């Protein structure tokens, strides 16, 4: 939804765009299958890069989880 809004020309600071990215990020945090979460991560990183949101550190939180997923995959 967030990507569609951006593709339709809505500005990155628009509350509905920010809300869509925040919801995508929130839902991604609950993806328990590491391979699926890792597969979705690049799209979320791209979205967070364009729409960082109002809370500082959201992009870094995604990157930290990706690193954790990588470490878990390498250890397992």
Listed by start position, the domains of the chain span 2-75
Res 73: pLDDT: 84
- How confident is the model at residue 14, as a pLDDT? 94
Residues near 65 by beta carbon (within 8 Å), at least 6 away in sequence: 29, 37, 41
Question: pLDDT tens, 15-58?
Answer: 999 999 999 999 999 999 999 999 999 999 999 999 998 889 99
The answer to whether residue 76 scores a pLDDT higher than 80 is no
Which alpha helices (DSSP H) does 1-76 contain, by range? 2-7, 15-28, 34-50, 58-75
Whether the model pTM is above 0.95: no
The dihedral of CA 56, 62, 65, 70: what is its sign? negative
Q: Give the C-alpha separation, 76 to 49, whole Å.
A: 30
């Amino acid at each position: 939804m967030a990507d569609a809004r951006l593709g339709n020309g809505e500005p990155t600071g628009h509350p509905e765009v920010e809300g869509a990215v925040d919801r995508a990020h929130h839902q991604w945090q609950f993806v328990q299958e590491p391979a699926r979460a890792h597969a979705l991560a690049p799209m979320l990183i791209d979205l967070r890069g364009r729409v960082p949101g109002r809370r500082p550190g959201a992009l870094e939180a995604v990157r930290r989880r990706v690193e954790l997923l990588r470490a878990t995959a390498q250890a397992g």
